[in-house]
Amino acid sequence: MFRRLDAPVVQAAGRTVRVIVDGVALECREGDSVAAALFAAGVQACRDTAVSGAARGPFCMMGVCYDCLVRIDGRPNQQACMTPVRDGMTVQRQLGAREVAV
Amino acid sequence: MGNASTPSQHPTFDVAVVGGGLVGSAVAYGLRGSVSSIAVLDEGDVALRASRGNFGLVWLQSKGYGMGAYSRWTLGSVRLWPQLAAKLLAETGIDVALEQKGGLTPLMGDYEIEARLAWVNKLMSQPGVEPYEWKLLDHHQAASLVPGLGPDVTGAIWTPHDGIVNPLKLLRAFHVAFSQSDVRYLPHHGVTAITQLSDGDFVLDTPKGSVRARKIVLAAGLRNGELGRMVGTHLPMAPQRGQILVLERTRRLLDTPMVTLRQNDEGSWLVGDSQEDAGYADHVTTLPILATLADRAVRTLPALREVRAVRAWSALRVRAQDGFPVYEQSASHPGAFLVTCHSGVTLAATHAMTLAPMIAAGALAPELDTFSTRRFHVQKT
Amino acid sequence: MNDMASDMASDMASISAEIPQYDLLVVGAGPAGLAAATRAAGLGLVTALIDEQPAPGGQIYRAVGSTPVQDRNILGADYWHGLELLEPFARSGARYLSSATVWSINRREPQAGGQPAGFEVAYSVSKGGEEPQASLLHCRHIILATGAQERPFPIPGWTLPGVITAGAGQILLKTSGVVPEGRTVLAGGGPLLYLLAYQYLNAGVKLDAILETTASSQWLQALPHAWSFLRSPYLGKGLTLMRAVRNAVPIVSGVTALEALAGANGQLAEVRYTAGGQSRSMAVDQLLLHQGVVPNTNLSRAVGAEHAWNDLQDCWEPVVDAWGATSVPQLSIAGDGAGIAGAMAAEHRGRIAAVHVAAALGRIDTAARDREAAPHQAALARATRGREFLEVLYRPATQFRRPVGDTIVCRCEEATAEQVRHAARIGCQGPNQMKAFLRCGMGPCQGRFCGLTVTELIADEQQRHPRDVGYYRLRFPTKPVTLGEIATLPQTPASREAVVRFKK
């Protein structure tokens, strides 16, 4: 599990942002990446791999491992660690290979 | 070079195949059983390796314009492919994912349709062609085979004989088969000189010592011109660069491959392909070409717009000057066979099951006469 | 020329006219990139700094301009030094392109009027919620400052949710003030691991253990380098930090085997390790792994720069001279991307590279260049003193670089150590054929987390040196980019002819 450091250690200067993760509303902070918001909310697994269906979660937090893939606002295979949260954003677990929306 | 005097670590092989790509490997695979000891000589990890840069098509409809016999030879291989796939699965456990459900050449607009139709009709009317089923489809017919086909694709040429296979699994299956049998795979053995001894045996010089064999098969792709000269054969090569974009895996959508766009068994997509005169520069990909490839692909299947390209390939097609295969036994160095083609995937079945037995028997069948290098001499005069 | 061709030619000319032109493009906004871009702009070069993150700082100074962790004792003075790079950059006049990922660098044809050829760079910009956009820019010179990444640490179970890198832990802390709770274990070795532990302690995070994989024999190996280390800036800081960490956190030294195991929910539940001949097990919620960092070489390889194997650090590095110049004309590399030497060294190397570029472009003469560079070169020497000691001490043990069995080697394609070893045994000549056989290196990470391991496994099975085994051949795009974006880039009549070949 992960938690946010609280005041007085941390200045909660940023606005609160509301995102919807797999249908559940979550409060996070402006400036969080989607991955950080997930960790802070106790979510460590964000996808099932296309190869074997194994569960994976963010690993490197710097955009090089591609394990943090999620569906953001309906768009598949987005890197959660490289996407800043936005009010009203929907985040869904990436289930295996992405689909092609014909 | 001095290597001729280096004693060989190996006993004399019945056949040494120079080249461990798809062509050499298919021939070596097919020689097993007819021939006792086989060596496959390969270069290192970074060499001109066409076997890693191909589209994986098992393709008939674009073959043979200018040489009807090539169409016929290809049709023969396409028909044999299921047997090769089954044998490899049984022997190695590797499923090369052959799919022969038909294939398309997508056409955008009247000009392309007219041009291609004329081209196909001309091809099919050439002497030496064994006619096969094909059709011009309109957009709706093509769209029933390609979900989400873009409106710009107003027609397509279809034949039931076309298909795909996983070329990487194919090469791996051949190599696993070697490890399970008596085929000696020798990497880092790039051939620098070939000598034929008075008893007819060949000595191949390599940086790792010499290799001696009763017969040799030169299947070294773009190096075949150079090696061919060492056995008295003039084989003018003209490499042609092709660039390909590879897209990330998606759920399986496309079952009918197109010559410029297909989805493989693992879910990734291949977008092709260019034909460029770029010498031997296989280490670069160029933006305008990638842009044209992408543009064409997005018009063919608009839903791919958001799918990401994960890498781009640039590889050199193994092409003799006229683009057709070369099969020949050297007249001046009997026992030395040349095998050159740019469709190592499509022709793998016939290479293993038709060509290899001919080589084992010591002579190529007369039907392959059209593929000898003598055709270049005729052109010269 | 017929009408269509002349239309296309003027199209191309107008597209070219719209493409931004720079003297210098700096890739990466960490210490090397910030320092380089600031200095270059200061010397009058038209400069752009491009970076994939939304804010400057790279990884070491990640979020230094916006971190919620404002109590400076937590992250420490070394981190806050990063602020001193931001402000001069903001004032420098250099163009800053953020959330922008470079994915292609190609040489341009020499231009009319004798202008040097330079490069065409393609990049993708991703701003919240919108579709990514591809763009082009032209520049005469490039400084790559893409820094380092975590060295792969392939232990059984390293792909389980609940296992992250120490670097990831640091990023969570810096960007969002997010820290682990519950049962948390750090494992591996290297200065960054202890730095993170120290920062966690300062933040009030309880750590259950640090499992040290540094072999005790490495101390003996490192000893010859100890004298420089004692005279280096690392000694003082290092000692304070280590003492604090060792007092507060249970340390297990000499760990020779490490395994992460899943619970019923498929996520991390347990860590098993061997130390002092004994096997033990701990229930855990988080495992943070770290065994050093290695240069990020994907861009430098794809552009064709020569690389060499660093035997002391078991990794590849681009070959650079004292100015950061590579084997590719007009392309330099500064910072950890040229070889791991730390954040301070990166800054100095960035300035040295910038000064060199200014001279190469004729902005200053070589005498001025040498004068300008001298203080940075002296500072660089001071900043790198003592690093060899750390490198040798924390050199990862063989079993953690060369896994066996079912341990996943390629995370993207899920190829295992035994699969790679088997292919090597049946004669696979190198990483590129390995890639063709097992798909390792073909996933979206493009070999960043498996490349070193594959090279080492082939070396192991075939009794060859990694430098002879080689590495994946990398090409552009160096980061995945959508088909739609590529389709918006300019085409040429030649490119159309090469692809669309129907002719009546």
Best residue in A71, A73, A102 to probe B by mutation, most B CBs within 10 Å? Answer: A102
- Indicate whether B156 and B210 sit together in one domain: no
If one compares C3 and A98, the residue with the highest pLDDT of the two is A98
With respect to residue B1, please indicate whether it lies within any of the assigned structural domains: no
Looking at the fold, whether B333 and B188 belong to one and the same domain comes out as: yes
ω into C54 cis (within 30 of 0): no
Q: Are residues B267 and B132 in the same domain?
A: no
- Structure tokens that stand for A60 in this block: 């490197």
- Of the two residues C219 and B89, the one the predictor is more confident about is B89
Mean pLDDT to the nearest integer, B264-284? 84
Q: What is the CATH number of the domain that holds B255?
A: 3.30.9.10
Give the number of other Cβ atoms within 10 Å of residue B379's Cβ: 10
Residue B147 is assigned to a structural domain of this protein? yes
Enumerate the domain spans of chain A. 7-95
Check residue B302 and report its DSSP letter: G
Test C480 with B118 for CB contact under 8 angstroms: no
Judged against a pLDDT cut of 50, whether residue B381 lies above it is answered with no
C72 versus B55: which is more confidently predicted?
A: C72
CA of A8 vs chain C CAs: smallest distance (Å): 8
Cα–Cα distances in Å, from B361 out to B193, B215, B329, B343, B354? 25, 11, 12, 24, 11
Among B112, B142, B160, the domain-final residue is B160
Region A62-85: mean pLDDT is: 95
Looking at beta carbons, which residues of chain A come within 8 Å of C167? 60-62
- Count of structural domains within chain B: 3
Residues B200-222, mean pLDDT to the nearest whole number: 96
pLDDT at C225: 81
The verdict on B300 and B326 lying in the same domain is no
> How close B296 comes to chain C (CA, Å)?
8
For chain C, the chains sharing at least 3 beta-carbon pairs closer than 8 angstroms are: A, B
Q: What is the structure's pLDDT at B4?
A: 41
Read off the pTM: 0.92
Are both B268 and B208 inside the same structural domain? no
CB interface of B with A, residues 249-278, below 8 Å = 249-251, 253, 267
Most A CBs within 10 A among B146, B149, B247, B251, hence the mutation to make, goes to B251
Q: How confident is the model at residue A82 (pLDDT cuts 50, 70, 90)?
A: very high
Interchain contact B97–A (C-beta under 8 A): no
Are residues B307 and C430, on separate chains, in Cβ contact within 8 Å? no
Using the beta-carbon criterion (under 8 Å), do A102 and B147 form an inter-chain contact? yes
CA torsion sign, A38 to A39 to A41 to A47? Answer: positive
Q: What's the rounded Cα separation, in Å, for the pair B272 and A7?
A: 56
Q: How confident is the model at residue B9 (pLDDT cuts 50, 70, 90)?
A: confident
Average pLDDT over residues B249-275: 94
Separation in Å, CA of B151 to nearest CA in chain A: 12
**Which whole number is the average pLDDT over C372-398?**
92
Same domain as B262, residue B205:
no
In a domain, B380, yes or no: no
Contact predicate C181/C388, CB 8 Å: no
Contact A67 C159 (CB under 8 A): yes
Summary mean pLDDT of chain C: 92
Residue in C136, C429, C499 closest to B45 by CB = C429
Quick one: B135 and B268 in the same domain? no
CATH code at position B31: 3.50.50.60
Inside any domain, residue B84: no
Judge if B347 and B313 occupy the same domain. Answer: no
Q: In whole angstroms, what is the distance from residue C245 CA to residue C194 CA?
A: 7
C178 CB neighbours in chain A (<8 A) are 2-5, 36, 39-40
Cross-chain Cβ contact C176/A40 below 8 Å: yes
Kindly report, residue by residue over C345-382, the tens digit of the pLDDT: 999 999 999 999 999 999 999 999 999 999 999 999 99
The chain-wide mean pLDDT, for chain B, equals 92
**Is the Cβ pair C172, A61 closer than 8 Å?**
yes
pLDDT at B50: 65
Least CB-CB distance to C69: which of A5, A33, A58?
Answer: A5
The ipTM assigned to this model is: 0.96
Q: Which helix (H) or strand (E) holds B25?
A: helix B22-31
Is there a contact between C502 and B276 if contact means CB atoms under 8 Å apart? no
- Tell me which of B306-320, B322-336, C168-182 is least confident: B306-320
Residue B2, pLDDT > 80, answer: no
Whether residue C2 is predicted with pLDDT greater than 50 in this model: the reply is no
Question: A7-95: which CATH architecture?
Answer: Roll (3.10)
Does residue B328 share a domain with residue B304? no
Please give the Cα distance from C460 to C424 (Å, whole number): 9
Within a domain: B64: no
Residues of B in contact with A101 (CB under 8 A): 303, 306
Tokens 């909310």 found at: A41
Mutate to test the interface with A, among B261, B307, B308 (most CBs of A within 10 A): B307
CB proximity list for C412: less than 8 A, separation 6 or greater = A66, C442, C443, C444, C445, C449, C450
Task: List the subunits that have 3+ CB pairs under 8 angstroms with A.
Answer: B, C
C178 to A45: CB separation less than 8 angstroms, yes or no: no
Work out the pLDDT band at C14, boundaries 50, 70, 90: very low
- What is the predicted pLDDT for the residue at B275? 87
Residue B85 located in a structural domain: no
Dmax (CA) for chain C in angstroms is 82
What pLDDT digit, counting tens, does each position of A16-37 carry?
A: 999 999 999 999 999 999 999 9
Position C116 scores a pLDDT of: 66
Does B311 lie in the same domain as B214? Answer: no
User: Is the confidence at residue B373, as pLDDT, over 70?
Assistant: yes
What's the pLDDT score for residue C130? 80
pLDDT band, residue B8 (cuts 50/70/90): low
Q: What is the mean pLDDT of chain A?
A: 92
In a domain, B20, yes or no: yes
Flag whether pLDDT at C183 surpasses 80. yes
Residue B17 and residue B147 share a domain:
no
Nearest chain B alpha carbon to C430 = B45
pLDDT score for C503? 85
User: CB–CB of B112/C502 below 8 Å?
Assistant: yes
Q: Domain for residue B80, yes or no?
A: no
Which among C442, C477, C495 has CB closest to B309? C477
Q: Give yes or no for B44 touching C (CB within 8 A).
A: yes
Q: What percent of chain C has pLDDT over 70?
A: 95
Q: Which domain holds residue B126?
A: 103-160
